[in-house]
Amino acid sequence: MNSASGGGDSNPGDFQPTERTRIKRLHQRAVYDRAGVYAILDAGLVCHVGYVIDGQPFVTPTAYWRDGDRVYWHGSSASRMLRHLGRGAPVCFTVSMLDGLVLARSGFHSSINYRSVIAYGKARLVEGEAEKLAALEAFSERLTPGRWARLRPPTEQELKATTMVSLDLKEVAAKVRTGPPADDEQDYDLDVWAGVVPVTCVTGPPEDDSRLKPGVERPAYLNNMVVG
Amino acid sequence: MNSASGGGDSNPGDFQPTERTRIKRLHQRAVYDRAGVYAILDAGLVCHVGYVIDGQPFVTPTAYWRDGDRVYWHGSSASRMLRHLGRGAPVCFTVSMLDGLVLARSGFHSSINYRSVIAYGKARLVEGEAEKLAALEAFSERLTPGRWARLRPPTEQELKATTMVSLDLKEVAAKVRTGPPADDEQDYDLDVWAGVVPVTCVTGPPEDDSRLKPGVERPAYLNNMVVG
């Protein structure tokens, strides 16, 4: 990840830091290359959407997915967040995943390992039924490949009750910390354990619905889900 | 969790819903009782802090901890977020944890299981050195009980370089979804797997720092960490 630091080896498609996305402190943690950013986005499932109403900040957690150079999220058409963003309000889209606890020999140098992405812009209301359906399918296939074709398809009423927005990935930066603690030189002599405790998000054994139709088997995708 | 729904069985210390914190849709998922909210906060480690500068929303992920009726977070004194909040700007403090994928027989009824807390207010700059030290100790002890006393204590310069804020837990609501999918009656007849795939955040085997002093053993708390 550090090879992308400070924009050293940039490709034509990479993100250009703006005033808002330039990582000013600890810039060795910055990631602007598109592949690095997309890899983080594709590993996550829940984002935190920031928006402003009457000067008050709101942060709503919700599921998201990426399709090409956009991220999507959706919810009830009655959602305050979606109604507000659908009118073109500025948004801050944040994804973060905890990867480890970094236990240094002082509190000051203790830290966490993580991957995070922040994107700014204005969300766009997805209005066409075809785009909505394609995006819902992409969301389903990202987690459970092959499942969409077996589900009962969405009804017209369900599509109407679902509001969906997308955000073009234009003003984007990621920040990543990996590796061991970096202690002050004189602290390495202390008799205290130091190192990293890795943290992972894992899926457990699937729980069959109590009304599962007899004979229906567990699909293979249940064992291969990436959720962080 | 549902026993706390809609403020049915409330205690004197419970949170009173305001215009901002009243859960309007799916109100059976609402949690306003203090013990229920604190249990969620105490399980989490990373929050998402929302704030506004010149009308633009920002959402910053950072570690937090609870001490009594307050949550705390901290960082570099050069942090834009902390400098802004230290001046009394309104904040939205959000914690969310993913607990499972709810795979229904239609896309529409598919969902996620989760715990989330949202608190509104104005953060307060922690200025006294004694409160700062006590709060840092509480943070360390929450994750790694017994460790603080063995660390090299913070220097005056480190304390100066650390800005800390707290938020009083006054305007707070939590939202929780648990349990299986709730399908449309006629969909239960479909030949598709349905149920829940649990998601958990786990800590892996600790990784010793390469410069660990010989003879230093791994403390027991490394095996008992709750990070989500």
pLDDT along chain B (228 residues), means of 10: 48 87 81 92 97 96 96 94 94 98 97 97 95 95 95 96 96 95 97 97 96 96 89
Q: How far is B213 from chain A (nearest CA, A)?
A: 6
Q: What is the mean pLDDT of residues A33-62?
A: 96
Cβ atoms of residues B56 and A20 within 8 Å:
yes
**Which residues of chain B neighbour A192 with C-beta distances below 8 Å?**
147, 150-151, 216
Q: Does B13 touch chain A (CB under 8 A)?
A: no
Instruction: Please name the member of B52, B152, B207 whose beta carbon is closest to the beta carbon of A57.
Output: B52
Q: Is A208 on the interface with B (CB under 8 A)?
A: yes
Q: Cβ distance A105 to A192 under 8 Å?
A: yes
Residue A41 pLDDT greater than 80, yes or no: yes
Q: Specify the amino acid at residue A57.
A: P
Stronger pLDDT, A23 or B210, i.e. the higher one = B210
Residue A20 banded pLDDT, cuts 50, 70, 90: confident
CA distance B79 to B90: 17
How much is the pLDDT for B6?
44
User: Which residues have C-beta within 8 Å of that of residue B167, sequence separation ≥ 6?
Assistant: B70, B71, B72, B91, B93, B119, B121, B122, B123, B124
pLDDT of residue B3: 41
The total of other beta-carbon atoms located within 10 Å of residue A22's CB is 14
Query: Which positions in chain A touch B228 (Cβ < 8 Å)?
Result: 98, 199, 201
Specify the pLDDT at position A9.
66
Nearest to B198 among A50, A203, A210 (CB): A203
- The answer to whether residue B206 neighbours chain A at the CB level (below 8 Å) is yes
User: Residue ranges per domain, chain A?
Assistant: 2-203+210-223
The pair of structure tokens assigned to B151 is 């660390």
Q: Which residues of chain A neighbour B57 with C-beta distances below 8 Å?
A: 50-52, 57-58, 90-92
| Alpha-carbon span A96 to B161, nearest angstrom | 25
How many beta-carbon contacts under 8 Å exist across A and B? 275
Domain A2-203+210-223, CATH homologous superfamily name and number: Electron Transport, Fmn-binding Protein; Chain A (2.30.110.10)
User: Stretch A115-138: mean pLDDT, rounded?
Assistant: 95
User: Residue B142 has which token pair?
Assistant: 């929450």
Residue whose entry in the numeric block shows the structure tokens 């609402």: B30
Quote the CA–CA distance of A55 and B98 in Å, as a whole number.
Answer: 29
Inter-chain CB proximity A193 and B25 less than 8 Å: no
Q: Which residue of A has its CA nearest to B159?
A: A108
State the average pLDDT over residues A146-170.
96
pLDDT band of A1, cuts 50, 70, 90:
very low
Amino acid making up residue B64: Y
User: What average pLDDT does the segment A176-195 reach?
Assistant: 97
Look at A1-10, A157-166, B140-149, B218-227 and tell me which has the smallest mean pLDDT: A1-10
Token pair for B17: 């819903």
Q: How far is CA A14 from CA A8, A91, B174, in A?
A: 11, 21, 38
Q: What percent of chain A has pLDDT over 90?
A: 82
A190 touching B, CB under 8 A? Answer: yes
- Domain B2-97+114-179: top CATH class: mainly beta
In tens, the pLDDT along A71-80 reads 999 999 999 9
The mean pLDDT of chain A is: 92
In the prediction, which pLDDT does A6 show? 44
Hey, what are A43's tokens? 């590993």
Beta strands in A21-161 (DSSP E): 30-31, 46-53, 56-67, 70-76, 90-103, 111-122, 124-125
Residue A50 contacts residue B58 (beta carbons within 8 Å): yes
User: Which stretches within A79-128 are classed as H helix?
Assistant: 80-86
CA gyration radius, chain A: 21
E strands in chain B:
30-31, 46-53, 56-67, 70-76, 90-103, 111-122, 124-125, 162-168, 171-177, 195-203, 207-208
